[in-house]
Amino acid sequence: MSEITKEDSEICKKEIRSNVFEIGSASPYILFYPQGCEICNHLSVFLCAASHQKLLPGWNHFAMFTVSLMNNHPNKSKHSDTLHKFYKREHDWGWKNFIELPRLLDGFIDDSGSLIIKAQVQVIRKSVNGPFPCLDSQYRKELLRVYFKVVKQIFLRFMKEKRNKLMEDKTRWTSLCAFWLGMDQKPRRAMSREKMDVIQKLVVKHFFINKNVTSPLVMDFLFKGLNSLVLDTNKEKIILTISKQIVRLLKDDSDASEKTLKTLEDEPKKEIAFAAKELAVPIVSVDNDMFVLADDAMLLLEKAVLEPFPDERVPPNRMEVDYDEESDDEKLLTEYARHTLEVFVLDHIFCNKIEIAYKEASELKMHEELIR
């Protein structure tokens, strides 16, 4: 976060530059046009790369930034967010019509005759631990207060789109199910999985919209949803592995009763069943570098159509004393993102594997009937 204070005498200048501030390997500054840039009666504000003439060919930085003009009444402060990829030739980005000049008199000029402008900038890079670019946690919280409903609607719209598409296809469900059940287990298992990197690239292509300010937030929660999916899969594996090891050791112990062994064998199943009640039963699990359908594909497609969306299951009680709106909003969006990712995998496998195999089998059958 960088804070710039400009006195009233400076506001009359044609152009004002802030000091350069460091953000990782980037060195930006804020450029102001108090009388407007190619526009009259407005304050224009831009984020610029310092010493752009010295930048090497091919240099670029992808940045999310917020510029805030502070008001004496904080809730009246002016905030603008944007997303831009900076290049050597395109080294500045911002707002020509940031705010109308007459509005500055409405509490933006403080008692000392100054304007206070704050800039928050994050250079967005791919996460070290995953495929999606992620935001700083504090910046994410600030953006979430503004864009929670927008991000939620992006996930909800995607899931509803896929649900409606499946419902429109219900006329051929009988023949599709018959085709699927008629297949051997081996090809069914092969069709029920996809490489994680294939899905991740498609997810970025679908959800990351260039210059759309909500895109980094959407990708951030998709990454959290992916982590949630991986952690839950690993937890289930760990519970089962430890349980099997304990049972194996106790079987070698002559004093261990059959009842004790049976209890230990059943305990992990109960724990996993309890976890399933706490969260929605998963559609997808993770196996090494693969996304794998957690159950039979036809059952999961039916589940995707009938299952309620995350906040329709247990609506939060906002009157509870310990209700934390920020924390609960993050949890809800993480669950939405996870469910979106699962539906994305299911839809990809259905459209690109099962449906293609079904069409090929149908065409072959029609061809054979024509020959007869």
Closest CA to 131 of 43, 49, 226: 226
CA dist., res. 145 & res. 51, Å (int): 35
pLDDT tens by residue, 123-144: 877 655 555 666 777 888 888 8
E strands along the chain, which residues?
2-7, 16-17, 28-33, 42-49, 60-69, 78-87, 92-100, 114-123, 193-195, 284-287, 290-293
% of the chain with per-residue pLDDT over 70 = 75
Cβ partners under 8 Å of residue 73, min gap 6? 107
Q: Give the CA angle between residues 94, 99, 103 to the nearest 5°.
A: 165
Cβ partners under 8 Å of residue 266, min gap 6? none
Q: The pTM is what?
A: 0.74
Higher pLDDT, 170 or 368: 368
CA atoms within 13 A on the CB side of 21: 17
Residue type, 217: L
pLDDT tens by residue, 281-332: 688 998 888 999 999 999 998 888 888 877 655 444 433 444 456 678 888 9
The total number of residues shown for the chain amounts to 372
Domains detected in the chain: 2-123 (2.60.210.10), 137-371 (no CATH)
Torsion over CA of 306, 308, 309 and 313, rounded to 10 degrees? -160
